[in-house]
Amino acid sequence: MEVVIVPDAAAGGELIATAIADLLTRKPDALLGVATGSTPLPIYQALAARVAAGSCDASRARICQLDEYVGLPKGHPESYRSVVLREVVEPLGLTADSFMGPDGSAGDIAAACDDYDRALAAAGGVDLQLLGIGSDGHIGFNEPCSSLASRTRIKTLTQRTREDNARFFDSLDEVPHHVITQGIGTILEARHLVLLATGEGKADAVALTVEGPVSSVVPASALQLHRHATVVVDEAAASRLKLADYFRATYAAKPGWQSL
Ligand code: PGA
């Protein structure tokens, strides 16, 4: 696992946008797995700025979703489909044709989950999966004690996650209890995992993820099992890392030819 400590969220966004732009140069139709929440927004803004400036061609990129609320009406502005279309797909100049995600309003949720896992495989697998981290250590919506082998399935949100996400809704009561999320086993199949965490509120979860044991109690610790996982953190989110100085020295001495 590579840990990169950046000064702030904007620097993290630029660094990861560079990795995505490099990937699109190597593979113009790469399948990019995107995350929702506040943390990845600087990545999407940095990437959209490059596309607008003509320094990155994302015209053949394909975008896929990590997770989705269950039960929100189709088109609800806070459904993750709506959020990804608004924050990622449209700013990159793409359309819904370039986008795939699980159907949170399906009549048969279990079938929708299986369909999504199959669709990801049929699309050739995810090339780069962006991840945020919950204050409880979740990735996607894999809450603590999610199986490390799990596939895309329905999950029940913890009260803490519902409270964390209530800011996007008019009240806590409106935050759904159920979600569809790519499983941890599904996420681990992506070729490159890039987790961005910013702010003091993520410091404990980051320390457990990077320096704690691999454990389903901290779902993000599964990144330790991946051969190409990158954790980008700002100073506040890095503040409880015991090996912070080592991570800084490693990155400072990184060969110029080696990208994230
Ligand atoms: P946040 O969400 O970026 O809004 O903190 C992260 C997550 O829940 O994965």
pLDDT (tens digit per residue) in 191-247: 999 999 999 999 999 999 999 999 999 999 999 999 999 999 999 999 999 999 999
Over residues 83-108, the mean pLDDT reads 96
| Cα–Cα distance, 80 to 172 (Å, whole number) | 17
Task: Report the predicted TM-score, pTM, of the whole model to 2 decimal places.
Answer: 0.97
Q: Report pLDDT for 181.
A: 98
Q: How many residues does the chain have?
A: 260
Half-sphere exposure of 209 (CA within 13 A, CB side): 33
Q: Report pLDDT for 259.
A: 86
Among residues 76, 87, 138, 164, the one annotated as catalytic is 138
Over residues 71-97, the mean pLDDT reads 95
Q: Report pLDDT for 106.
A: 94
Q: Output the six-digit token pair for 192.
A: 């490159």
The answer to whether the beta carbons of residues 124 and 190 sit under 8 Å apart is: no
| Tokens 């015209």 -> residue | 59
Q: 44, 69, 133: which to mutate for ligand 1, most atoms within 8 A of CB?
A: 133
Give me the domains of the chain, ranges plus CATH numbers: 2-187+204-209+234-239 (3.40.50.1360)
Active site residue 67: yes
Q: 16, 34, 38: which to mutate for ligand 1, most atoms within 8 A of CB?
A: 38
What distance in angstroms lies between residue 157's CA and the mean position of ligand 1's atoms? 13
Q: Report pLDDT for 124.
A: 98
